[in-house]
Structure 1
Amino acid sequence: MSTISVEEVKAFTLDVLEDHAYKKAEVITMLQEVQEKYHYLPEVALLQLAEGLKVTAQTIYGVATFYAQFSLDPKGKYLVQICNGTACHVRNSMLIYDALVKKLNLQTDKKTTKDGLFTLETVACLGACSIGPVMVINETVYPHMDPETAAGVIDMLYNRKNGD
């Protein structure tokens, strides 16, 4: 997994603060921009936002942990979400999840592959019940999934990364 420098994160976060004129009311948008850049919220960015907005680090951390859209853990290049809402669940979406856990060689306490390429999550509902079970990777929706097809999508993305 590639590492990011503290200096880079601080510089980017300072730019975000400046772009939003250090307005506390825009903290959620600032957090979204940082997460969009790094795929999670690095601790140094939270501290930089707190300093720049003249609030406690606990205040920023509280906002970041209140909203499910934010992650404090690094995410992979590909965020793989398996819908486990009722319609997808009854169509065996968890078989897809289990197959991908095995394919990606994830341990029970880890969601991201060691190479930082994939993060696997379940979500409560993606709102695509008629085409379930559904898998979303980044912004792309994959309808009518089954374990084998989902594994094929992962292979395709992995091969793309490796230039095959």
Structure 2
Amino acid sequence: MAERFFAPDVPELRERWGSFTWTSANEKTARMYVGRYPEGRQQSAVIPLLDLAQRQVGDETGTQGWLPIPVIEYVAAYLGMPPVRALEVATFYTMFNLVPVGKYHVQVCGTTPCMLRGSDDVLSACKSRGLKKGHTTADGLFTLTEVECLGACANAPMVQINDDNYEDLTEESMGAILDSLARGEAPKPGPQDGRQTSCPAGGPTTLKKMAERNYDYRPQWNAAAGEGA
């Protein structure tokens, strides 16, 4: 698991991000998020607002986005909460990047199911293309992070790249995804071995007709129940 630390709060950081404000579109979105909570509970919107701020930083920098300390302080002030409370949230959830990242943030799951199913091969594909854990490539395209469980154990090994999951990976398929992104293409997310979502490898073993269409098995079940009576 990568260490969690803030980018140094130096004058250059303050000069670049100290005047951060919502874009007109994001101001409307921020008001919408805050409006979901009753009076006096507006601080409950801190997670969606931090995410919104990270995405705005990403749009401005051409990256996946991150949260400079002045931007976190802006969100805290917007919600009328102490800055340290927003800083606590940002450091707790790994969905928030505390240092600059590349255009594509490659998060490789290294927890037991993915490890047993080949996450080392996934990391090998990354390494062979110059990606190093905890670093951004010189061209600014990729940042590689090894993370804890991302909740797709049935499709191990898997990675999350920005907002998309890529599952059922091999060293070859992971390499193909990275190469496609490097060319400016958009590889299809989800399972990479042809299976349907998280169905058994090789296809379903029961209720097979349901994979073809919304097949109604109830007449057969009713008939069988009648024979049993």
Q: TM-score range by the shorter chain?
A: 0.7 to 0.9
1:9 maps to 2:20: yes
Normalising by structure 1, report the TM-score.
0.75
> Match of 1:85?
111
1:53 maps to 2:100: no
Normalising by structure 2, report the TM-score.
0.56
Inter-partner Cα distance in structure 1 for 2:52 and 2:150: 22
SS of 1:160's equivalent in the other structure is coil
Report the aligned-residue RMSD: 3.2
Does structure 1 conserve the Cα–Cα contact (< 8 Å) formed by 2:114 and 2:153? yes
> Match of 2:52?
33
Q: Kindly provide the CA deviation profile for residues 38-86 of structure 1, in whole angstroms up to 9, marking residues without a partner as x.
A: 3211222112223333433222211211223222112222222222222
Richer in helix (by share)? 1
Q: What percent identity do the matched residue pairs reach?
A: 31
Does structure 1 conserve the Cα–Cα contact (< 8 Å) formed by 2:131 and 2:143? no
Inter-partner Cα distance in structure 2 for 1:72 and 1:149: 29
- Please, which runs of 5 or more residues in structure 2 have no aligned partner? 1-15, 59-64, 186-229
The structure number with the bigger radius of gyration is 2
1:143 maps to 2:171: no
Inter-partner Cα distance in structure 2 for 1:139 and 1:29: 15
SS of 1:103's equivalent in the other structure is coil
SS of 1:70's equivalent in the other structure is coil
SS of 2:90's equivalent in the other structure is helix
The count of aligned residue pairs is 157
